[in-house]
Structure 1
């Protein structure tokens, strides 16, 4: 399967957008001040790579609400999607954990290469041991 990947749960988008509103979450681009603040706080985040529009992220959960990848993509298709965590080595930020877990888009493991390229283009190195692919076809 090659990109783009489409939201398999599109009927849920209105409820998911309402959850994001209740949680007072505004998805942000990377790099951004909002991203830097959450990264510094050690918050686990979700991301999508949009065709031509870059890297968008948000906290995984906030105020008891689950933030979906579909909301980050505004219901549109993605080139990659998943979860990630950031750590610091002094002043240097790097991705310490990243996966392709997105029930909405179910991107294959090789989409993580696209994600690594997008983070790299944003100036954030992904450690080789940080990548944990998920196979949605596995039982």
Structure 2
């Protein structure tokens, strides 16, 4: 069973949710037509895995930084980080995946959870593009 990570900055959540609403950002479920649209733009995105849900968003929208906590509505997650996806016809390939989330600071095992979540939804994950962020390095 995967470990759950809590939001380490809950005091910022109300302000972060308000900022996301102002710029029209909502968590996007994978797979969905909204995700297909985001993927086609080719920008770096953020993700969270919470239970059976994989939720994503752009990282920056109209000058606002979107946090992982916004995607999870402040709740606990099993994985969080950033990713990039490239489309080759009908195939979507995750070319870059990490566990960079200051709100959750997920461990190495969260990358396994994330890879599985993307692959279960039909995306291929390039193993060479998976990068662990070490939260213990100063």
Please tell me the TM-score bracket, short chain as reference.
over 0.9
1:15-49 Cα shifts (integer Å, max 9, x gaps): 00011011111111000111100101102110000
What residue in structure 2 maps to residue 92 of structure 1? 91
The range that moved more, 88-97 or 64-73, is 88-97
- Alignment partners' CA distance in 2, 1:74 and 1:26: 10
Q: CA deviation at 1:130?
A: 1.1
Q: Which residue of 2 aligns with 1:17?
A: 17
After superposition, give the CA deviation of every residue in 1:61-117 in whole Å (9 maximum; x if it has no partner): 111111100011111100000000001233311101010000000001221000000
RMSD: 1.0
Quote the Cα distance in structure 1 between the aligned partners of 2:76 and 2:26: 19
Tell me if 1:4 matches 2:20.
Answer: no
Under a length normalisation based on structure 1, what TM-score does the superposition of the two structures give? 0.95
Partner Cα separation in structure 1 for residue 56 and residue 24 of structure 2: 14
Q: Distance in 1 between matches of 2:27 and 2:90?
A: 24
Give me the whole-angstrom Cα distance separating, in 2, the residues matched to 1:112 and 1:82.
Answer: 9
Task: Name the SS for the 2:35 alignment partner.
Answer: helix
Count of matched residue positions in the alignment of Structure 1 and Structure 2:
137
How far apart, in 2, do the equivalents of 1:46 and 1:88 lie? 17
In structure 1, how many angstroms separate the alpha carbons of the residues matched to 2:87 and 2:4? Answer: 32
Q: Does 1:110 align with 2:115?
A: no
Structure 2 equivalent of residue 62 of structure 1: 61
